[in-house]
Amino acid sequence: MNAANQDATNPQAGKPQGANPQDQNIKVVFQDEVSKVGAYANAVSVHINANEVVLDFGYSVPNTKDPHEIMITSRVNMNHRSAEQFLSVLQNSLLDFRNKLKEAQAQMQAQQANGDANAKAA
């Protein structure tokens, strides 16, 4: 998080974001309108050296002359600690999403089974 995105009223602002519940109080501020829109990516390239981790996000355009060409839309540089925290938050978020999806699917199947049982009983 850079200085432009920090919330002066939040003591956690500017500190690396982890999976702590306290991090829920961080105010997100976009630098510009382009940042609000975001960038689509279906490919990522990771470069690591002694000081930093560099993530190049981009997209692979189907049906092009060079199918291996990736258009880079965004580059994110971070230190190793921030990269580890990012990885942890991403893993936890994906796990939470998958668990919620499984719960929703189980509920739908249970409702369908109940509907089928009620239809047979009638």
Give the torsion through C-alpha atoms of 102, 107, 109, 112, to 10 deg.
Answer: -160
Q: Looking at 48-62, 65-79, 96-110, which range is the least confident one? A: 65-79
Per-residue pLDDT band for 21 (boundaries 50, 70, 90) equals low
Asked if pLDDT for residue 38 goes beyond 80, the answer is yes
**Mean pLDDT across the chain, nearest whole number?**
81
Per-residue pLDDT band for 14 (boundaries 50, 70, 90) equals very low
Partners of residue 74 on adjacent β-strands: 57
Per-residue pLDDT band for 1 (boundaries 50, 70, 90) equals very low
Per-residue pLDDT band for 109 (boundaries 50, 70, 90) equals very high
pLDDT at 12: 44
pLDDT at 68: 82
Partners of residue 54 on adjacent β-strands: 47, 77
Entry pTM: 0.62
CA distances from 27 to 19, 20, 39 (A): 15, 15, 21
CB 83 within 8 A of CB 51: no
Asked if pLDDT for residue 57 goes beyond 70, the answer is yes
Can you tell me whether residue 110 is helix, strand or coil? Answer: helix
Q: Radius of gyration (Cα) for the chain, nearest Å?
A: 21
